[in-house]
């Protein structure tokens, strides 16, 4: 079998002028437990990052909060000057310990986030900077206004948002062109269907985080299990392939700290599902999501 190549997933142009392979990489897991501190195996984490361009991955998603700072530092150490790569980062969350994330959207803090990411990544302009969360304690005009200013100053090429609804995207669009939206979305988590539809209509890249989750569909005898067995691949590969089939603006960013797992993820770019398989997976995923919502209400 030939080496997996993320370019088999197709291409999407972020902001209309920044082409990337649709199957990217999320650099959250090259950090310690709780996304806190250094990775348990720093050598393997560096091998993962060095392997990305060899596998055709061109979109790498990170954040200043990953570590904090560890992910950005490792990316610079391993991949700078990022030839042929788009390193997208995020800011606006503060860290107070493992698995603790608190939004701060004050304009002076967001400006600091951008300036410090520029320094850590070793670049003069960030290709894609995403607001990690909209801070409910700060007016959106203040948060979006400073991002417009940073873009006008040439420090950010494209601006994205994370975990937002359609109304927030519309509000942000008054200040700048929203290039990407990064929301929780996977086979069995469909809260953001309306956001995805909006992104499709407006050519906005949709970056699903937690893309490999399949919930109850990972059990034996499910549609997901049957499709995976038919193709001779892991459940996660089918979940990724389904995302790529789901929408042309979909940019999955599965992350890992292991080279072997990375190669399996990238191989999903080569997996072609039939129309019947895509439809069956979609129906099963929606049903699982609706059942979960009903159980919680």
Q: What is the pLDDT of residue 218?
A: 85
Model confidence pLDDT, tens digit, residues 62-107: 999 999 999 999 999 999 999 999 999 999 999 999 999 999 999 9
Per the CB < 8 A criterion, the answer to whether 144 and 112 are in contact is no
Task: Judge whether residue 1 has pLDDT over 60.
Answer: no
What beta strand segments (E) does the chain contain? 11-14, 18-21, 25-26, 59-61, 86-91, 93-95, 101-103, 126-131, 156-162, 178-184, 205-209
Residue 243 CA to residue 288 CA, distance in Å, equals: 16
Share of the chain above pLDDT 70, in %: 100
Q: Is 82 a catalytic residue?
A: no
Q: Which CATH architecture has domain 6-296?
A: Alpha-Beta Barrel (3.20)
| pLDDT tens digits, 124-169 | 999 999 999 999 999 999 999 999 999 999 999 999 999 999 999 9
- Check: CB of residue 17 under 8 Å from CB of residue 55: no
Average pLDDT over residues 21-41: 98
Identified catalytic residue from 66, 109, 185, 210: 66
* Domain regions of the chain by residue span: 6-296
Q: What are 186-222's pLDDT values in tens digits? A: 999 999 999 999 999 999 999 999 988 777 888 899 9
Q: Please give the mean pLDDT across all residues of the chain.
A: 96
Q: What is the pTM of this model?
A: 0.97
């Amino acid at each position: 079998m030939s080496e997996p190549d993320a370019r088999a997933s197709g291409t999407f142009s972020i902001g209309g002028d920044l082409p990337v392979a649709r199957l990217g990489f999320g650099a959250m897991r090259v950090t310690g437990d709780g996304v806190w501190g250094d990775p348990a195996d720093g050598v393997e984490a560096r091998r993962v990052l060095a392997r990305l361009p060899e596998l055709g991955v061109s979109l790498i998603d990170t954040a200043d909060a990953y570590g904090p700072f560890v992910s950005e530092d490792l990316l610079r150490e391993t991949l700078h000057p990022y030839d042929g790569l788009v390193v997208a980062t995020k800011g606006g969350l503060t860290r107070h310990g493992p698995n603790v994330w608190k939004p701060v959207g004050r304009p002076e803090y967001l400006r600091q986030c951008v300036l410090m990411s520029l320094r850590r990544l070793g670049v003069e302009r960030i290709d894609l900077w995403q607001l990690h969360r909209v801070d409910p304690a700060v007016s959106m005009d203040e948060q979006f206004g400073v991002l417009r200013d940073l873009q006008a100053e040439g420090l950010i090429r494209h601006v994205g948002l994370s975990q937002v609804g359609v109304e927030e995207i519309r509000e942000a669009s008054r200040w700048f062109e929203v290039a990407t939206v990064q929301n929780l979305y996977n086979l069995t988590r469909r809260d953001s269907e309306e956001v995805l539809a909006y992104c499709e209509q407006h050519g906005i890249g949709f970056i699903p985080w937690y893309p490999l989750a399949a919930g109850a569909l990972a059990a034996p005898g499910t549609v997901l299990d049957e499709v995976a067995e038919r193709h001779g691949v892991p459940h996660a590969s089918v979940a990724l392939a389904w995302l790529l089939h789901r929408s042309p603006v979909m940019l999955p960013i599965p992350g890992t700290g292991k080279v072997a797992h990375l190669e399996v993820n990238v191989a999903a770019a080569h997996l072609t599902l039939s129309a019947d398989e895509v439809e069956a997976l979609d129906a099963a995923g929606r049903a699982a999501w609706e059942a979960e919502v009903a159980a919680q209400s």
